[in-house]
Amino acid sequence: MYSAIAYGIGQVLVEIPYALVQADIYGPIVYFMLKLELDAGKFFWFLYFLYFTVLFFTYYGMVAVGLTANQQIASIVATLLYVFLNIFSGFLLPYSRIPVYWKWMYWCTLTSYTLIGSITPQFEDIHNPLQSSGVNVTGVAVDQCMDDSFGFRTSLLPLAAVMMVVFPVLAASVFICAIAKLNFQRR
């Protein structure tokens, strides 16, 4: 019989190639359907952030199952975190509009780093005024609008890239510890 830690490490390692295949299939489809700029650097940034997002959510599902006694409770716990990840990601509620006492939550969510890393490289070099149907909406450039409205700055890209690795490693570590230390079996 394998130890619980070896089993947990095996579970974590087996998901790495699956997440890579998912990101490699799904990423190009989404990238080209969105008609994003045909630039290798921007494309690989997009794939990088997509891969680690898929990996984190896979590990988070494993953590939810590992920390709870059954599937129903795991679904409830996972759903609660998904609500926080969506509210504080900066998509539904931009960072500038999040109340001051909740801004720390923005920096604690992986989805905020996913948005920073997926959107910033795509629009960081567009200095043309923001337009709608060919008409200038404002005199503000696209890159400046991304910074002013959403707080997506090029200077945050290295932080986002590092945090995209930290979150899956943290989730995998919690899962391995949960598998090793928690036992919900009844005798």
Q: Residue 135's pLDDT is what?
A: 61
Domain annotation covers residue 185: no
- Please give the sequence-ordered ranges of beta strands (E in DSSP) within the chain, or none if there are none: 129-132, 135-141
| Residue 45 belongs to a domain | yes
Does residue 184 fall inside a structural domain?
A: no
Given a cut of 80, is residue 132 above it in pLDDT?
no
pLDDT, one tens digit per residue, over 31-88 is 999 999 899 999 999 999 999 999 999 999 999 999 998 889 999 989 998 998 888 8
pLDDT beyond 60 at 187: no
Taking CA atoms, 55 is separated from 38, 130, 186, in Å, by 25, 34, 32
Domain, as residue range, for 46 = 4-179
Residues 6+ positions from 69 with CB-CB distance below 8 Å: 184
Give a yes or no: residue 187 inside a domain. Answer: no
Q: Is residue 80 part of a domain?
A: yes
Name the average pLDDT for the chain. Answer: 89
The whole-model pTM stands at: 0.88
CA distances from 124 to 108, 158, 162 (A): 24, 14, 19
Number of domains in the chain: 1
The answer to the question of residue 107 being in a domain is yes
Question: How far, CA to CA in Å, does 137 sit from each of 37, 128, 143, 185?
Answer: 22, 11, 14, 61
Angle at 72 between CA 69 and CA 75, to 5 degrees: 105
Cβ atoms of 109 and 88 closer than 8 Å: yes
